[in-house]
Structure 1
């Protein structure tokens, strides 16, 4: 068991959880000093430049022309729309609360996968998802119905487009590596965000240092590195394991937000976080006779020599 959870794929999944959880408080710092437009564009642009810089060394291939519409969808939904909606929502929603609302995203991805990709929904996955989402609702409404604002709906919209993104990347991950898919989508997302450049220039000139450091952190770590290691994990783990593990992003985000921003979660929020973890345990519960699904068609990974297969949705910041 120790060997299994110390394997590169599980370490990559754990790293993704920590990086994407840390993104939520970083967004609060960045949006306060840079504003919505500048934070959204700079994060995408920094991540795109970083991924393009490593592309020649990682032997990233030029995508097929026939895959460009799918890549455009990934870039528009999972990069541009997601960044704008989440950053907009976090102007008024605390980082920890936002992370719990984003936890809805895997449900959309799993449902889309079951409808269009013939992904099998087990009883444990369905029940665990309901439990985890119940925990999310408890946290969101910890201050009563007044805590559910229009900004909360904006964050939920970000969760929807994130679910679309991770569903849309699955067919691409059969033909490309996780690094390639992340690079294509990040570039496409940056192109779609180009109308934000004028506002970005005006805001960046007068931005405080902490906001600039926050957007550099967001671009290089949660965005660039986070997508790379997520692609590595998603190509090698079954749907239930990866989706379930990433429900841990909200509890970790609550902890990081407390350390970074001093946001003190309400006791009811902590209860909701515990319910989320309970859902994770159920989702990850595997039958004694169950076997991990074999890899589907794809090219051998350059680093590990294993083949890629379709993977799950995620919760990211």
Structure 2
């Protein structure tokens, strides 16, 4: 993985860390499943009209849309609506990284090194501590929903890797065509048309304008920019190298939530988060080159 790609992966981590704040403000006005449907609908319509369909197998496009789009955000938005703290959600969702590495090892036959396995075990251990601590406070369900969102994200990552699109942005845009119908159907069943309509009819309020701002960030920066760059990175690098960078998202998410939302996680959760971040560093940092020739080769390629 080149130095440029590592910087791009860090850039996406910053975008997605702040994205959790935007989701928090959006869910303060819109029902969660309806939010997911709207998020992808506003991208899907112009995509179908103006963006060429990527030349990939349909099953990988649908799989990416159902995993990365529908499953991840349906579970995440429901979890946050049920009380999952914003900063903690940004941490727990990153279980997608070790899950992606495991799925990549099983389905893509990507080699799992001992160091990557150690990083996975560290990350899983940190997640387990957080789940245990939340269960003690009777809020386990939001954590479970967030973990299901992480699993959906991992499935989407594997589908993106298999699709190998020539244009990552076009692939991401066309992925947005998949989620609106299933998410809108779920919203109508579980949230009701009255709640959906009320959120639209009351947009011209202070709370509504705040939600519009958050929604705009989620669509443009979180989805178009972040997901487009991420998919490109997944296309030209092994999934088990790219995916662990997503574990850096909670560094931004938890810091921003502390500063702007005054969320103060328990000490045990902070320590567990440090363990999780340690897992990504262990699993994704490049190996030290033992020879001067190898060092020179790496430097010239960067």
- Name the structure where helix makes up a greater proportion of residues: 2
Report if aligned partners of 1:73, 1:165 keep a CA contact under 8 Å in 2: yes
For residues 19 and 52 of structure 1, the distance between their equivalents in structure 2, rounded to whole angstroms, comes to 26
Please name the residue that 1:168 is paired with: 159
Instruction: Describe the superposition over 1:64-86 as per-residue Cα deviations: whole angstroms up to 9, x where unpaired.
Output: 5x722321222122212222111
1:225 aligns with 2:225: yes
Quote the offset at 1:284 in angstroms: 2.4
Please name the residue that 1:294 is paired with: none
1:146 aligns with 2:137: yes
Report if aligned partners of 1:178, 1:232 keep a CA contact under 8 Å in 2: yes
Change (3 A) 1:264 1:80: same
1:105 aligns with 2:96: yes
Please name the residue that 1:301 is paired with: none
User: Helix, strand or coil: the match of 2:241?
Assistant: helix
Change (3 A) 1:241 1:76: closer
Quote the offset at 1:24 in angstroms: 1.6
Change (3 A) 1:239 1:228: same
1:270 aligns with 2:260: no
Quote the offset at 1:52 in angstroms: 5.9
Please name the residue that 2:114 is paired with: 123
Please name the residue that 2:65 is paired with: 75
Report if aligned partners of 2:24, 2:86 keep a CA contact under 8 Å in 1: yes
For residues 143 and 116 of structure 1, the distance between their equivalents in structure 2, rounded to whole angstroms, comes to 32
Quote the offset at 1:147 in angstroms: 5.1
Report if aligned partners of 2:34, 2:183 keep a CA contact under 8 Å in 1: no
Structure 1 runs not aligned, ≥5 long:
56-60, 292-317
For residues 285 and 72 of structure 1, the distance between their equivalents in structure 2, rounded to whole angstroms, comes to 32
Please name the residue that 2:179 is paired with: 189
Report if aligned partners of 2:86, 2:253 keep a CA contact under 8 Å in 1: yes
1:34 aligns with 2:30: yes
Q: Please give the root-mean-square deviation of Cα atoms over the aligned residues, in Å.
A: 2.5
Report if aligned partners of 1:244, 1:280 keep a CA contact under 8 Å in 2: yes
Change (3 A) 1:53 1:221: farther
User: Helix, strand or coil: the match of 2:28?
Assistant: helix
For residues 102 and 147 of structure 1, the distance between their equivalents in structure 2, rounded to whole angstroms, comes to 19
Please name the residue that 1:252 is paired with: 252
For residues 15 and 44 of structure 2, the distance between their equivalents in structure 1, rounded to whole angstroms, comes to 17
User: Helix, strand or coil: the match of 1:93?
Assistant: coil
Quote the offset at 1:28 in angstroms: 1.7
Report if aligned partners of 2:131, 2:140 keep a CA contact under 8 Å in 1: no
Quote the offset at 1:243 in angstroms: 2.2
Please name the residue that 2:169 is paired with: 179
TM-score (norm 1): 0.79
Please name the residue that 1:283 is paired with: 283
14-23 or 268-277: bigger deviation: 268-277
Which 4+ stretches in 1 moved above 6 angstroms?
Answer: none
Report if aligned partners of 2:98, 2:123 keep a CA contact under 8 Å in 1: no
For residues 85 and 111 of structure 1, the distance between their equivalents in structure 2, rounded to whole angstroms, comes to 21
Quote the offset at 1:49 in angstroms: 5.0
Change (3 A) 1:147 1:16: farther
For residues 267 and 141 of structure 1, the distance between their equivalents in structure 2, rounded to whole angstroms, comes to 14
